[in-house]
Amino acid sequence: MKFKVFKYYYPDYFCRYFGLVRKKYMEDNRIADKIREIIYMIGDNPERSGLIETPLRVESAYKEWFKGYREPDFEMKTFDSKYSGIITRKQIPFQSFCEHHMAIYTGFIDFGYMPNGNVLGISKIIRFFQHYSARLTIQEDLTDFLIDKFYNIVKPKGAVIIIRAFHTCEGSRGVRVPNVTTITSSVRGSFMEDSILNEFLSLIK
Ligand SMILES: [Zn+2]
């Protein structure tokens, strides 16, 4: 019993350092236990038949929704290319979770980059954004985080990202305005030049 308590309450920095404990509690229903408690705290009965398997389902959903904290299960493989234009991917669907309310926000990403000798497979661009969005964020920071992460991996001449999203925390509580779009954008490198940025903007129209 003592061992169990010790195992579950390693300090966070220790978990992060070794990575093992975090993985362990992901495996042994610790999230489900907490969800069961939350169901009780909001005033329902976690043992009733409709809810009995909900905690485990939520746990597996959490593992998917927050997969962005773990390494991706695909390789960010690049290919040699002499292409010197803009590669644009328009309206990539993504989802992330607001770090203030843990409420989902969803939307679309428009993305462009100018390669510097190597390109990333086009479907990998989609997987890249979907993987790294799956974490607790604010849209502003997510925008910079994604473009910088891409930059570090692919090392292009420049990149640009525009994110348009609806936030359910804002739509379902507080001010309760469900249909206001939040648009954030970041540019790096060659896209600082007006002519290149304008070309991208006309491509995503
Ligand atoms: Zn929020």
Same structural domain, 87 and 47: no
User: Dihedral angle at the C-alpha atoms of 156, 67, 170, 40, nearest 10 degrees?
Assistant: -170
Q: 138 C-alpha to center of ligand 1: Å?
A: 8
Q: What is the pTM of this model?
A: 0.84
Asked if residues 125 and 89 have their Cβ atoms less than 8 Å apart, the reply is yes
Q: 73 C-alpha to center of ligand 1: Å?
A: 28
Tell whether 70 is covered by a domain: no
Same structural domain, 116 and 183: yes
Please determine, for residue 187, whether its predicted confidence score (pLDDT) is greater than 90. yes
Tell whether 71 is covered by a domain: no
Same structural domain, 158 and 187: yes
Domain count, the chain: 2
Of the listed ranges 6-10, 158-162, 182-186, 197-201, the least confidently predicted one is 6-10
Quick one: pLDDT at residue 30? 84
Same structural domain, 112 and 154: yes
Same structural domain, 116 and 155: yes
Q: 67 C-alpha to center of ligand 1: Å?
A: 19
Tell whether 191 is covered by a domain: yes
Tens-place pLDDT, residues 16-48: 666 655 554 455 688 899 999 999 999 999 999
| Degrees to nearest 5, angle at CA 166 with 39 and 89 | 125
CATH code, domain carrying 198: 3.30.1130.10
Same structural domain, 163 and 92: yes
Going by C-beta distance under 8 Å and a sequence separation of 6 or more, which residues neighbour residue 98? Answer: 104, 105, 136, 137, 138, 167, 168, 169
Task: State the residue range of the domain holding 44.
Answer: 2-65
Same structural domain, 109 and 197: yes
Same structural domain, 153 and 106: yes
Q: What are phi and psi for residue 196, nearest 5 degrees? A: -70, -40
Please determine, for residue 4, whether its predicted confidence score (pLDDT) is greater than 50. no
Same structural domain, 101 and 196: yes
C-alpha–C-alpha distance, residues 32 and 36, integer Å:
6
Q: 62 C-alpha to center of ligand 1: Å?
A: 17
Same structural domain, 82 and 167: yes
Of the listed ranges 33-37, 108-112, 114-118, 174-178, the least confidently predicted one is 174-178
Q: 169 C-alpha to center of ligand 1: Å?
A: 5
